[in-house]
Structure 1
Amino acid sequence: MTATTPDPAAPPARADQPATRLGPVLVAMGIGAAVSIGLGLFGRLHAPTGIAINLAGFSSGLAAKTWLTTAAFLFAIVQLVTGMAIFGRIPLHGAWLGPVHRWSGRIAVLLVTPVAVHCLYALGFQDFSSRALVHSILGCLFFGAFVCKMLVLTRDDAPGWVLPVLGGLVFSLLTALFATAAVWFFVYRGFTF
């Protein structure tokens, strides 16, 4: 057996820093893609019921969906700002950043879960207009990207760039969902509950 000599141009490995691996990230992306496809297939094959949620105080399921998405989008902005601060992109500091980032994300997910249920059961995968088709595709992609981000979040060996990229993707998809549904609702139906 011959010994291999280390590459002198390679940076030295630190004992406190685990080696990064892309394999688990690719597996997470595959699982996220499967979630996106599964949601799309379910939404397409399931016969829409017309109603799935109708929260007290709202005039319809669409109104409830709109306001829950709006609240989730506001918490996503908190996620964006605290995430950028955690990664040193904006000058905010403090021990409060981590807890605020985690809890704003948890609340946003709690808010969009009934929205997803309503979309899947009441509306299904829609393609009657360009806006509805784009919104349906974005919804599937959002939950796939979210699952991928959550799987990568638990990995200490993921490359450092992966989590900010996935977080940015999840935020971008939620922004597009907000624009293609809640903003559309507010424009055509007004700020009604």
Structure 2
Amino acid sequence: MADTAVPQKGMVVPLAAFVAGAVVALLLGVFGKVHDPTLDATTTLGFDDVRDMKVVVSVAIGVLAVGQVVGALWMYGKLGIKAPSWLGTAHRLSGTLALLLAVFVGYHCIWAFGFQTGTTAHGYEVPLRGVVHEVLACAVFGAVVVKVMAVRSRRAPGWFLPVAGGLLFSLLVVVVLTSAGWYLDEKGWPS
């Protein structure tokens, strides 16, 4: 006789996900702090410098993140409009693209600039905005781990996926605003 028991939905999966996410975020922060920043092995994608490229790609990530929230609300019937059959596939593909772009930008951030606090070797005082950005950028990748575990688990409670998605979205928005948003306000659109 087949076992048809429904797996018990408890706190093990969310707790394990948050611990794994915290470890990822912490390890990224530690690496960023001990790594010697360099522009070697980076690209500008034709922009004037790495920062300009990161701003443009970060804006794209922000747009994709908003699309993810709208898509999720639509799929779960929260918009009052029936979701088309292709929406789930589009949601997964745009989420994957957002993640790949975030890894690309994150690599360039951590590799080219590291995790800077206080005064840099060049005598530049890192502003609070920069430190907040660095901490939350590391947390974004921890939140990605949490979200992937929420999506993949069948034993997680029903609240876990929307909380994981909301956490990731919120962190992404703040990271984009403390980097690309700030840059665009100060310097305008990159050339």
Do the structures match in fold with TM over 0.5? yes
- Report the TM-score when normalising by structure 2: 0.88
Task: Give, in angstroms, the shift of residue 16 of structure 1.
Answer: 8.0
Partners of 1:153 and 1:170 lie apart in 2 by: 13
Which gives a bigger RCO, structure 1 or 2 (Cα 8 Å, sep 6+)? 2
User: 1:27 corresponds to which letter in structure 2?
Assistant: A
Q: Is the 8 A contact 2:44 2:52 kept in 1?
A: no
How far does the alpha carbon of each residue in 1:81-109 deviate from its partner, in whole angstroms, 9 at most, with x for none? 01112222212322122111111101111
- In 2, Cα distance between equivalents of 1:85 and 1:24: 26
CA positional deviation for 1:189? 1.7
Residue 146 of structure 2 corresponds to 148
1:117 counterpart = 2:107: yes
CA distance in structure 2 between the aligned counterparts of 1:25 and 1:173, rounded to whole angstroms: 18
AA of the residue aligned to 2:35: H
Which entry has the higher C-alpha Rg, 1 or 2? 1
Moved more, 123-132 or 51-60: 51-60
Equivalent residue, structure 2, for 1:131: 129
Rounded to whole Å, the distance in 2 between the matches of 1:34 and 1:140 is 10
Is the alpha carbon distance of 1:121 and 1:57 closer, same or farther for their aligned partners in structure 2, counting shifts above 3 Å? same
Structure 2: stretches of 5+ with no match in the other structure: 118-125
Amino acid at match of 2:70: V
Distance in 2 between residues matched to 1:52 and 1:109, nearest whole Å = 20
Task: Report how many residues are paired.
Answer: 179
How far did 1:64 drift? Answer: 0.7
Partner-residue secondary structure (3-state), 1:62: helix
Q: For the structure 1 residues 86 and 16, does the alpha-carbon distance in structure 2 shift closer, same or farther, using more than 3 Å as the test?
A: farther
Which of 74, 93, 107 aligns to 1:103? It is 93
Retained in 2: the 8 A contact 1:48–1:124? Answer: yes
Aligned AA (1:44): K
Instruction: Give the 3 Å change call, closer, same or farther, for CA 16–102 of structure 1 in structure 2.
Output: farther
With 32-41 and 18-27 compared, the bigger mean Cα shift is at 18-27
Query: Is 1:58 matched with 2:29?
Result: no
Give unmatched runs, 5+ long, in structure 1.
Answer: 1-14
Percent of residue pairs bearing the same amino acid type: 37
Aligned-pair RMSD on alpha carbons? Answer: 1.5
> Deviation at 1:135?
0.2
Question: Which residue of the partner structure matches residue 34 of structure 2?
Answer: 45
